Structure 1
Amino acid sequence: MSEPRVFLLPDLGEGLTEAELVAWHVSVGDEITVDQPIAEVETAKSAVEVPSPYAGIVAELHGKPGETLDVGKPLISVTPLGSVVAADDAAPAPSPAQPEVEPAETELVEPKPESTEAEAYREEEKAGSGNVLIGYGTPGGHGVARRTRSRKSSVAVADPAETTPVSLSKEDELALLRTRVPGKLGAVISPLVRRMAREHGVDLGDIAGSGDSGLIMRRDVEAALRTTAPAATPEAKPEATPVAEPVEAPERPVESVEAQGRDARTGLAVSARTPVRGVRKAVAANMARSRSEIPEATVWVDVDATALMELREGLKANGVEVPGLLAFIARFVTAGLKKFPELNTRIETADDGSQEIVAFDGINLGFAAQTDRGLVVPSVRGAEKLSARELDAEIRRLTQVARDGKATPAELGSGTFTLNNYGVFGVDGSAAIINHPEVGILGVGRIIDKPWVVNGELAVRKVTELTLTFDHRVCDGGTAGGFLRFVADAIENPTSLLADI
């Protein structure tokens, strides 16, 4: 049997150097195929299923669920399927009473057909599957089809020259290391939820799901474990505890309040300790960096949005498909950024401490989206080229993929300016933190009825508050105020900019 091939944890996205292993989808001894999902990992960007670039038998799983793995470190070892077939099919040594080979059978007995999986593996080795990992696919042109059974003999005799695996070159291993794995639905995976519930004895029928349409999610099972599982004690363990298979979901023992200790400063018992990782870890690091590096300033203005609301109602009455309010405001923001490009820039600092302002030929408009995994900021690429309807369609699409955990690193990390609609939370204003390394973020509060002076008379109008937080290094208050006023005027007189809607 040849040496197993080691698959290294690939680069999961720009700037990401680690990932938390959520669960294995395979176990030692399983036969796997090229492109088969082998593990679920969670990064600061999204939840991802990692496919295997190799076919064969799982020899070793490098890591346990719940562990944080570094990019470039071993993830799984796979013994090539051809070498396993050769070892399994090899005939035992003949006894003295039995001839080694009967010449008549040598010519007449057909060889045992090789397995479909082995044949597929060899074909994929020769050509590369092309769809395992984004950008590279499986290595092509380096594999050698290996035959483990003579076509004219009933006795399987492996040819060492044919069964010796072809090891990947350093260039191929580097290609695998640098490949990008497509983000897949990871926040909710029904088999994972069912497996967790089964392994921990949780009755899914007793759980009220917190997902859409009452869908039971992983956090629901974990919450049930925290409220029902007793504290583990050494006496409760049987004398012979079976070794847990690596495919099992991470065991999260529920500690009692006494076991977690008492806080020295407050004197209160500690009820829970939650590791900061994944999306929450990335958000915390980015917000802390923004506060420490960016000298920000904030300006705000109340805006009469009555005309915009009436425009949307009129379009609805005519049976026209109407974009959401955020799409209209996004259209005004992109027009404002073209007029005030200083807010669509980034500051870069060189190794010698010198700085420069980097301007962009285009606008990638990010928008804050609340998901089950935390706050993420997908961005509409080339937003300045889109109409309000096109912006609405893209915003809806990105919101859905972000909530499903399918957003790619490019969709989550390429923004040049951020729009934040915190009005959906029922608040009027917020001193938002700039999404580093951008230099500005515009917040939109809720739209409510307020008294407003119109043509010298008091009236009830639909009013919202716009708040702009900007990096004072790239522009002064005049530029920031000009941009904010431009967007406000567009909301109050929407037809001036919505000829294309």
Structure 2
Amino acid sequence: MSAPAVNAALLVFALPDLGEGLTEAELVSWLVAEGDAVAVDQPVAEVETAKSVVEVPSPFAGTVAVLHGRPGEVLDVGAPFLSVRPEGSEAPPAGTSFGLASDAAPAVAAAASALREDAGVPTAATHEGGEPTTSEGSGNVLIGYGTPGGLTGGRRRPRKGAAVRPAGTTPETAVAAPAAAPASGEPASPASTSDVSPAGAATLCVSPLVRKLAREHGLRLEDVRGSGEEGLILRRDVEAAIAARPQASDVASQAASSSPPAGRPGDAAEPGSAERDARSGLAVLERTPLRGVRRTIAEAMSRSRREIPEATVWVDVDVTALVELRAAMKRRTSDAVPGILSFVARFVVAGLARYPELNSRIETGDGGSQELVRVDGVNLGIAAQTDRGLVVPSVRRADTMSARELDAEIRRLAGLAREGKATPSDLSSGTFTLNNYGVFGVDGSAAIINYPESAILGMGRIIDRPWVVDGQLAVRKVTELTLAFDHRVCDGGTAGGFLRFVADAMEDPGAMLADL
């Protein structure tokens, strides 16, 4: 049976590839509701990727028909994201619903997406009836990428674990298969026994990750109280239920130990459902999958340690003159005065012009051959600690900026990073990283190089320390600079020369700034 006309009129916008090889994103919030009118390139949702929180605009104009997902749900790239009824199309009959009220809806949508990919049909713009349609996207830049200006080729091979259409079936019958009841006499699948209540009502849980977490811990979803919209069960609800179970098990254990079995006096029953850590023997409170920024950080740091033979050099620096220079500037003008980090950034880019090896990187080809890649200019990464983890937005062409311009750009990027608004391009285009870990009150750190860069310079806190000046002991403002570098791109002489250049500039900023 063909799909109803109202379904064929709907344009399905699949979650686009947000770049950086990402395959999924967590839906943070919807910016529209079903029934709202949307225009091309109008932001419709906020999603959190491995890099940042970004807005996703609609490539279509019309009326929102279906929101395929709920806040907190993790969606695969290429999965149905938003269905739009084009302007002028026939409205659905009264009582018609296209929402995800049933547990079968995610399975149907996933199967439909897999079938479209298996057939080579682009997933970025399709009718809900299964036929491809030409996108009316503007092609304008979107989160550093772009809305489609026509049919854009999605992945043509099925995703791992995607449904494969059996021979002799049509897309309509294959898509309907996940929602069909098991044949008489066949055992019910785990999903059907754990996700549907005895009365047949579907549990409000649409996230496959949440379902998997519940199954792994033997938890029945119908026993979990959802805290999401309309009782939607979120990951935190399942984790809370899992964390509460050891307490109940301890009570049961105490009750059992009060009347030990005959022949084994004093034996206490082991908690039946509490997961124990195999290494320590302690109860496991929770297991949180690494994803988003934390997973990106873990992968980048592991790869850096695995592939880069790094070495470290450091030096103590008397920055009294630099601190006094900045204080004098503040007294002479009411304008904003660059911070100490901005002056250091200016000295760094000057040092990289003299020692360009530290602004290069090594690339490995398919056959294992390696090349040293040098670029024209410096994109200076500034490490920033945020609530989502450590991120490194980069100041593009920092080598063309003054200290005052660097200060303004560093503040702007730091604000975007803290708000989670920095784009993937902002966070992955650096050529050298500067890290001010002195804000944490520490003097030094053996920093890990921000892969695939070749070096990172760290600066500790500025403190009063005894220092010898012209043969006399004095109290001076002192900090520590630490440079970790890839020993494949240069030797210690180059690294030491660069570090000494930056240190000398900080100790005598007037002379250095006169030459910049």
**TM-score, scaled to structure 1:** 0.68
Q: 1:58 to 1:301 in 2, by over 3 A?
A: same
Q: 1:234 to 1:173 in 2, by over 3 A?
A: closer
Post-superposition shift, 1:51? Answer: 1.9
Post-superposition shift, 1:33? Answer: 1.1
Post-superposition shift, 1:363? Answer: 0.4
Contact conserved, 1:346 with 1:437, CA < 8 A, in 2?
A: yes
Match of 1:483 in 2: 498
Q: 1:130 to 1:290 in 2, by over 3 A?
A: closer
Post-superposition shift, 1:401? Answer: 1.1
Post-superposition shift, 1:9? Answer: 1.3
CA distance in 1, matches of 2:70, 2:46: 12
Could you give the per-residue CA deviations for residues 178-214 of structure 1, whole angstroms, max 9, x where no partner exists?
xxxxxxxxxxxxxxxxxxxxxxxxxxxxxxxxxxxxx
Post-superposition shift, 1:442? Answer: 0.2
CA distance in 1, matches of 2:296, 2:439: 24
CA distance in 2, matches of 1:325, 1:429: 17
CA distance in 2, matches of 1:283, 1:130: 31
Q: Secondary structure at the match of 2:324?
A: helix
Could you give the per-residue CA deviations for residues 12-33 of structure 1, whole angstroms, max 9, x where no partner exists?
2333332122344455x53431
Match for 1:33: what amino acid? V
Post-superposition shift, 1:126? Answer: 11
CA distance in 2, matches of 1:290, 1:440: 11
Could you give the per-residue CA deviations for residues 420-443 of structure 1, whole angstroms, max 9, x where no partner exists?
000000000000000000000000
CA distance in 1, matches of 2:343, 2:417: 21
Match for 1:258: what amino acid? R
The equivalent position to 1:133 in structure 2, one of 120, 139, 142, is: 142
CA distance in 2, matches of 1:8, 1:234: 30
Could you give the per-residue CA deviations for residues 256-303 of structure 1, whole angstroms, max 9, x where no partner exists?
353563323212222333221111111111001101000000000001
Q: Secondary structure at the match of 2:236?
A: coil
Post-superposition shift, 1:456? Answer: 1.1
Post-superposition shift, 1:61? Answer: 4.0
Match for 2:432: what amino acid? F
Q: 1:427 to 1:265 in 2, by over 3 A?
A: same
Match of 2:325 in 1: 311
CA distance in 2, matches of 1:393, 1:21: 32
Match of 1:348 in 2: 363
Post-superposition shift, 1:348? Answer: 0.5
Percent same amino acid among aligned pairs? Answer: 66
Match for 1:334: what amino acid? V
Q: 1:405 to 1:468 in 2, by over 3 A?
A: same
Post-superposition shift, 1:127? Answer: 8.0
Post-superposition shift, 1:134? Answer: 5.6
Match for 1:417: what amino acid? F
Contact conserved, 1:363 with 1:417, CA < 8 A, in 2?
A: yes
Q: Secondary structure at the match of 2:451?
A: coil
The equivalent position to 1:323 in structure 2, one of 314, 338, 347, is: 338
Could you give the per-residue CA deviations for residues 229-265 of structure 1, whole angstroms, max 9, x where no partner exists?
xx9996787xxx9x9669x694621233535633232
Q: Secondary structure at the match of 1:84?
A: coil
Q: Secondary structure at the match of 2:477?
A: strand
Match of 1:258 in 2: 245
The answer to whether structure 1 residue 276 and structure 2 residue 290 are counterparts is yes
Match for 1:71: what amino acid? V
CA distance in 2, matches of 1:126, 1:257: 49
CA distance in 2, matches of 1:235, 1:139: 43
Could you give the per-residue CA deviations for residues 140-188 of structure 1, whole angstroms, max 9, x where no partner exists?
7xxxxxxxxxxxxxxxxxxxxxxxxxxxxxx4244999xxxxxxxxxxx
Q: 1:56 to 1:450 in 2, by over 3 A?
A: same
Match of 2:101 in 1: none
Greater mean deviation of Cα atoms: 251-260 or 301-310: 251-260
Contact conserved, 1:257 with 1:270, CA < 8 A, in 2?
A: no
CA distance in 1, matches of 2:394, 2:309: 24
The equivalent position to 1:358 in structure 2, one of 373, 379, 390, is: 373
Structure 1: 5+ residue stretches without partners = 89-124, 141-170, 178-230
**TM-score, scaled to structure 2:** 0.66
Greater mean deviation of Cα atoms: 8-17 or 410-419: 8-17
The equivalent position to 1:453 in structure 2, one of 449, 464, 468, is: 468
Could you give the per-residue CA deviations for residues 72-96 of structure 1, whole angstroms, max 9, x where no partner exists?
33322333242234978xxxxxxxx
* Higher relative contact order (CA closer than 8 Å, sequence separation 6+): 1
Post-superposition shift, 1:416? Answer: 0.2
CA distance in 1, matches of 2:370, 2:284: 45
Q: Secondary structure at the match of 2:504?
A: helix
Structure 2: 5+ residue stretches without partners = 95-133, 157-218, 247-273
Contact conserved, 2:54 with 2:143, CA < 8 A, in 1?
A: no
Post-superposition shift, 1:497? Answer: 2.0
Match of 1:407 in 2: 422
The answer to whether structure 1 residue 300 and structure 2 residue 314 are counterparts is yes
Q: Secondary structure at the match of 2:514?
A: coil
The answer to whether structure 1 residue 71 and structure 2 residue 63 are counterparts is no
Match of 1:38 in 2: 44
Match for 1:133: what amino acid? L
Alignment of 1:153-302 (within 5 A): 171-174=150-153, 250=234, 252-253=236-237, 254-255=240-241, 256-259=243-246, 261-302=275-316
Contact conserved, 2:463 with 2:477, CA < 8 A, in 1?
A: yes
Greater mean deviation of Cα atoms: 489-498 or 414-423: 489-498
Match of 2:172 in 1: none
Q: 1:473 to 1:451 in 2, by over 3 A?
A: same
Q: Secondary structure at the match of 1:446?
A: coil
Greater mean deviation of Cα atoms: 315-324 or 328-337: 315-324
Contact conserved, 1:31 with 1:55, CA < 8 A, in 2?
A: no
The equivalent position to 1:370 in structure 2, one of 372, 377, 385, is: 385
CA distance in 1, matches of 2:135, 2:393: 38
CA distance in 2, matches of 1:363, 1:337: 8
CA distance in 2, matches of 1:14, 1:234: 38
Q: Secondary structure at the match of 1:39?
A: strand
Q: 1:57 to 1:387 in 2, by over 3 A?
A: closer
- In angstroms, what is the RMSD of aligned CA positions? 3.2
Match for 2:343: what amino acid? F
Could you give the per-residue CA deviations for residues 86-141 of structure 1, whole angstroms, max 9, x where no partner exists?
978xxxxxxxxxxxxxxxxxxxxxxxxxxxxxxxxxxxx9986565836786667x
Post-superposition shift, 1:380? Answer: 0.6
CA distance in 2, matches of 1:295, 1:345: 15
Greater mean deviation of Cα atoms: 311-320 or 470-479: 311-320
Q: Secondary structure at the match of 2:385?
A: strand
CA distance in 2, matches of 1:457, 1:372: 46
Match of 2:436 in 1: 421
CA distance in 1, matches of 2:495, 2:429: 22
Q: Secondary structure at the match of 2:372?
A: strand
Contact conserved, 1:65 with 1:249, CA < 8 A, in 2?
A: no
Q: 1:174 to 1:268 in 2, by over 3 A?
A: same
Contact conserved, 2:12 with 2:80, CA < 8 A, in 1?
A: yes
